[in-house]
């Protein structure tokens, strides 16, 4: 795993791109999220901002591990780039796994939770959360690679 992060310049946080490269696997996403939050520490994000970043990225990257590189396929590369900008953090996630079905992200509709526990759907929450919490969510398949971009707003 490798990354470059934010840095402190003359006592002030200076935002720089954060790049993290991992190989898909059981603990890879957890380790990448930990490294990302450590690299973003100089931005002094609040607990809610950190939680949103973790939730959205965990959903997106775990989907890659589970669906782009499903069990039985070889593990593969996942790269994450975080770019601090005036309107928040922009993210680019790339992988060379299987493409999204029909070349688009799932719609991500809210799930009715007012049902018996045994009638709750097994999946379907992830894309709703991603699209509800992130802005400018765009998926492309470019040169045999999946590319997902989105923006997360920051209060500061």
pTM, entire model: 0.82
Tens-place pLDDT, residues 47-91: 999 999 999 999 999 999 999 999 999 999 999 999 999 889 999
In sequence order, the 6+-apart residues with CB closer than 8 A to the CB of 23 are 75, 76, 77, 78
Domain that holds residue 95: 2-152
- The domain that holds 54 is classified in CATH as 3.30.565.10
Q: What's phi and psi for 139, nearest 5 deg?
A: -115, 135
- For 69-81, the pLDDT digits (tens) are 999 999 999 999 9
Question: Are the beta carbons of 80 and 36 closer than 8 angstroms?
Answer: yes
Q: pLDDT tens digit string along 114-152? A: 656 555 455 557 888 899 999 999 999 999 999 999 999
The span from the CA of 137 to the CA of 154, in Å, is: 16
Please, what is the end-to-end C-alpha distance for the chain in angstroms?
A: 29
Task: Give the single-character DSSP code of 103.
Answer: G
- Number of domains making up the chain: 1
- Do 108 and 131 touch, CB atoms closer than 8 A? yes
31 has a pLDDT exceeding 60: yes
């Amino acid at each position: 795993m490798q990354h470059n992060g934010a840095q402190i310049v003359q006592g002030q946080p200076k935002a720089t791109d954060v790049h993290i490269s991992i190989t898909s696997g059981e603990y890879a996403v957890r380790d990448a999220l930990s490294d990302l939050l450590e690299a973003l520490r100089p931005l002094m994000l609040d607990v809610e901002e950190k939680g949103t970043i973790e939730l959205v990225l965990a959903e997106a990257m775990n989907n890659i591990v589970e669906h782009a590189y499903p069990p039985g396929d070889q593990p593969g590369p996942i790269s994450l780039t975080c770019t601090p900008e005036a309107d928040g953090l922009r993210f680019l996630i790339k992988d060379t796994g299987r493409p999204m079905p029909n070349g688009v992200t799932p719609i991500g509709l809210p799930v009715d939770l007012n049902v018996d526990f045994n009638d709750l759907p097994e999946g379907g929450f992830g894309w709703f959360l991603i699209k509800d919490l992130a802005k400018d969510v765009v998926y492309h398949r470019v040169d045999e690679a999946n590319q997902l971009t989105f923006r997360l707003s920051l209060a500061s």
